[in-house]
């Protein structure tokens, strides 16, 4: 269920239920905490001689013996860690101590101790190059689990820089901002990741886009909501993505009926009117007194798709009155066209002709009227350009329509951007 028309008009965002998106409140791709294969060496290779200090060896040996006992007492071993860490003098000391402390923390179920050990190994500079990425990722996970997000971020970034790609380490950077309730920073970072992927011609993980859209929507960040909606329908076009994009913009845009009408026209053409309430919104926005033929078409589609009930008196009465007015419009359309084509025609007459023709499914004639209207004083260029693009798209002039939509500025720009994406997909045969 998406928005009810009453929820939208009352600004009640809580009515949205995007099951596949807003449920993604946990970290994306969070895997079980990894345990790196510590201190593994290729037996065929002769290891370089380690430089251990005497003081460190003295501190290490009794702890090593305790750890190798048949039933190690990890609590007692843990108590010896501070002395071991204090005995570190060389990089090899630090690496060995870090490995031991990490293992002790794991056995004692002490994540803070495990993080201390992992940090020591990373700082030692003694890690094999192929392990640097994984170890930084584990350090990031441990810091994240401790809710030390500022510490976690550089480790995740270092993991990615070292070539570690499992579990998408960079997404955890964005997640760390979200966990700190810094949605704007997280979305800025996540947006940069998405843009980098798109620029490289690489697919973007759908979960990234859903997560970004959920965060933007939940935090009332309109610009980011529009941006992630656009990416979502571009990367994963389909009934779900288009339905979510249309519903979210309907709820967040603060639009009046003229804008709502053009947004729901997009939803109808994209097959994304998933809810009877959206059909009712469309009926209200079109208004049977202004666009009766379109209202009849919308109601009939709602009936055919099982979204509207034929027993609903509001719908049946509206359809009856709309059908009567539509017949009158068809009978009078030639006169209206003639009036609109007169040299002294008013803007209101030209727009009435264009809107009526679009509602009567005569897009070529509507295009001519909207083109004329754009040249007239005091025209609402954003509205007329949007409808001009719709008329062009309905004729299959996809490239022209896309160019027209991209000219729209102001409050309608997010609506026009979605239309432009839809036009691009029509050109590619994917819509």
pLDDT at res. 21: 27
pLDDT at res. 29: 29
**How is the chain split into domains, by residue range?**
54-208, 255-427
229: nearest Cα among 249, 203, 215, 259: 249
pTM for this prediction: 0.80
Kindly report the backbone phi and psi dihedral angles of residue 407, in degrees, each rounded to the nearest multiple of 5, phi listed first: -85, -10
> Token match 């501070």: residue?
82
What is the 8-class DSSP label of residue 412?
G
Per-block mean pLDDT, blocks of 10 residues, the chain (431 long): 30 25 29 41 57 93 92 92 95 94 93 96 95 96 96 96 91 96 97 95 94 95 94 94 95 93 97 94 96 97 96 96 97 96 95 97 98 96 98 97 97 96 88 54
Whether 54-208 shares its CATH topology with 255-427 is answered yes
Spatial contact of 159 and 140, defined as CB atoms under 8 Å apart: yes
Spatial separation of the C-alpha atoms in residues 171 and 176, rounded to whole Å: 9
What is the 8-class DSSP label of residue 47?
P
102: nearest Cα among 85, 89, 90, 116: 116
pLDDT at res. 49: 80
Name the token pair of 148: 């030390």
368: nearest Cα among 350, 345, 349, 393: 350
pLDDT at res. 168: 86
Spatial separation of the C-alpha atoms in residues 61 and 58, rounded to whole Å: 6
- SS percent in the chain: helix, strand, coil, step 5: 70, 0, 30
Contacts of 379 (CB under 8 A, 6+ apart): 347, 373
pLDDT at res. 430: 58
Q: State the DSSP string of 81-125.
A: HHHHHHT--SHHHHHHHHHHHHHHHHHTT-HHHHHHHHHHHHHHT
- The CATH code that applies to domain 54-208 is 1.25.40.10
Fold of the 255-427 domain: 1.25.40
């Amino acid at each position: 269920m998406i928005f009810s028309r009453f929820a939208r008009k009352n600004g009640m965002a809580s009515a949205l239920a995007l099951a596949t998106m807003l449920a993604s409140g946990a970290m994306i791709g969070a895997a079980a905490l990894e345990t790196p294969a510590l201190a593994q060496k290729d037996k065929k290779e002769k290891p370089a001689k380690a430089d251990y200090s005497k003081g460190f060896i003295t501190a290490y040996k009794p702890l090593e013996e305790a750890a190798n006992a048949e039933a190690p007492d990890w609590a007692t071993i843990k108590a010896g860690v501070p002395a071991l860490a204090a005995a570190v003098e060389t990089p090899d000391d630090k690496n060995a101590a870090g490995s031991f402390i990490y293992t002790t923390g794991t056995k004692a179920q002490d994540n803070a101790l495990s993080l201390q050990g992992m940090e020591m190994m990373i700082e030692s500079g003694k890690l094999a190059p192929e392990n640097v990425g994984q170890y930084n990722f584990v350090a990031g996970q441990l810091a994240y689990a401790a809710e030390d997000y500022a510490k976690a971020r550089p480790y995740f970034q270092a993991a990615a820089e070292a070539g570690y790609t499992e579990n998408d380490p960079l997404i955890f950077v964005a997640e760390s901002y979200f966990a700190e309730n810094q949605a704007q920073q997280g979305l800025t970072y996540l947006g940069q990741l998405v843009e980098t992927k798109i620029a490289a011609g690489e697919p973007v993980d759908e979960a990234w886009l859903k997560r970004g859209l959920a965060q933007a929507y939940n935090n009332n960040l309109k610009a980011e909501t529009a941006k992630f909606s656009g990416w979502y329908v571009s990367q994963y076009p389909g009934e779900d993505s288009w339905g979510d994009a249309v519903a979210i913009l309907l709820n967040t845009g603060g639009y009046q009926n003229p804008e709502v009408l053009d947004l729901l026209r997009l939803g109808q053409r994209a097959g994304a009117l998933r809810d009877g309430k959206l059909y009712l919104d469309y009926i209200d926005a079109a208004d049977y007194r202004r666009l009766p033929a379109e209202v009849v078409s919308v109601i009939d589609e709602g009936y055919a798709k099982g979204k509207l009930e034929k027993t609903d008196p509001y719908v049946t009465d509206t359809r009856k009155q709309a059908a009567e007015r539509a017949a009158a419009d068809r009978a009078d359309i030639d006169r209206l066209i003639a009036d609109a084509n007169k040299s002294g025609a008013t803007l209101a007459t030209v727009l009435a002709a264009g809107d009526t023709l679009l509602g009567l499914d005569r897009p070529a004639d509507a295009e001519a009227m909207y083109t004329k209207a754009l040249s007239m004083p005091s025209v609402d260029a954003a509205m007329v350009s949007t409808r001009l693009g719709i008329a062009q798209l309905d004729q299959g002039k996809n490239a022209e329509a896309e160019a027209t939509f991209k000219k729209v500025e102001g409050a309608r720009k997010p609506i026009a951007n979605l239309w432009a994406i839809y036009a691009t997909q029509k050109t590619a045969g994917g819509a």
